């Protein structure tokens, strides 16, 4: 279920609305819950390739291990992520695997993030609403 975040251009309140589907979002006239304005701008969050796993990774992570992590060393990050994933016995998805592979190859997280197709978000709502 997609959840979109909006800012009301009239009262500047930020809120999020959930929809059954993207089509539902397109069909729905989204209104500000505070002032009922339809003069909204949709906020696009910066998506990080680790965001969705962040909570899970924190839960898996042994703090003492993280303490030894060199954030500037992609290989050690990749190795740590792979170890945590295998210990959890969970399939974290093909994207996770690709990220780990590329970290272990020495590629910087920034570069990986930029090349991952996670920015394929829809353009912000602009015009059409008034």
- Which residues contact Zn ion by CB under 5 A? 8, 10-11, 32, 34-35, 37
> CA 107, 92, 24 angle in degrees (round to 5)?
105
Shortest reach from residue 27's CB to Zn ion, in Å: 21
Cβ distance to Zn ion smaller for residue 8 or 112? 8
Cβ distance to Zn ion smaller for residue 10 or 107? 10
Question: Edge-to-edge strand order for the sheet containing 14-18?
Answer: 14-18, 3-8, 40-43
Shortest reach from residue 38's CB to Zn ion, in Å: 9
Cβ distance to Zn ion smaller for residue 10 or 83? 10
Q: What is the DSSP string of 108-123?
A: -HHHHHHHSGGG-PPP
Shortest reach from residue 128's CB to Zn ion, in Å: 18
| φ/ψ (deg, to 5) at 3 | -120, 125
């Amino acid at each position: 279920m997609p959840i979109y975040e909006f800012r009301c251009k009239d009262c500047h309140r930020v809120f999020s609305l959930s929809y059954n589907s993207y089509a539902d979002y397109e069909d729905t006239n989204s209104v500000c819950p505070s002032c009922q304005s339809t003069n909204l701008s949709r906020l696009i969050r910066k998506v990080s390739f680790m965001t969705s796993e962040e909570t899970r990774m924190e839960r898996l992570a042994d703090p003492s291990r993280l303490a030894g992590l060199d954030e500037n060393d992609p290989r050690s990050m990749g190795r740590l992520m792979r170890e945590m994933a295998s210990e959890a016995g969970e399939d974290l998805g093909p994207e996770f695997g690709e990220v780990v592979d590329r970290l272990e190859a020495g590629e910087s997280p920034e570069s990986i993030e930029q090349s991952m197709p996670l920015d394929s978000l829809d353009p912000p709502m602009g015009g059409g609403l008034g």
